[in-house]
Amino acid sequence: MFGMGMPELLIILAIVLLLFGSKRLKNLGSDIGSTIKGFRKAVAEEDSSATQNTIGEDNHDSEATYQTRKTEAED
């Protein structure tokens, strides 16, 4: 669409380096990486806890059903 090739991208990179400096870009990249890592970890923990809650509820229901049947059998 825009016809941007390698020379154009290198010019843009050079301009960005001049504006922000290499140290600031390095820190920015590191910050973005740690943010993404933290987000992925939080999503994984949420999925894990949701699965454990579902399993726990199933076990609880099974135990309640077992107790009800046991009580009915004794009567």
Q: Domain residue spans in the chain? A: 39-75
CA distance 31 to 37: 10
- Is 53:61 a contact under the CB 8 Å cutoff? no
Closest CA to 56 of 45, 64, 17: 64
Q: Look at residue 41 in the predicted model and tell me its pLDDT.
A: 93
Instruction: List, for residues 4-48, the tens digit of each pLDDT value.
Output: 889 998 999 899 889 888 888 888 888 999 999 999 999 988 888
What is the band of 74 on the pLDDT scale with cuts at 50, 70, 90? low
Q: Look at residue 11 in the predicted model and tell me its pLDDT.
A: 93
Q: What is the mean pLDDT of residues 50-75?
A: 61
* Predicted model pTM: 0.45
- Is 63:55 a contact under the CB 8 Å cutoff? no
Q: Look at residue 71 in the predicted model and tell me its pLDDT.
A: 64
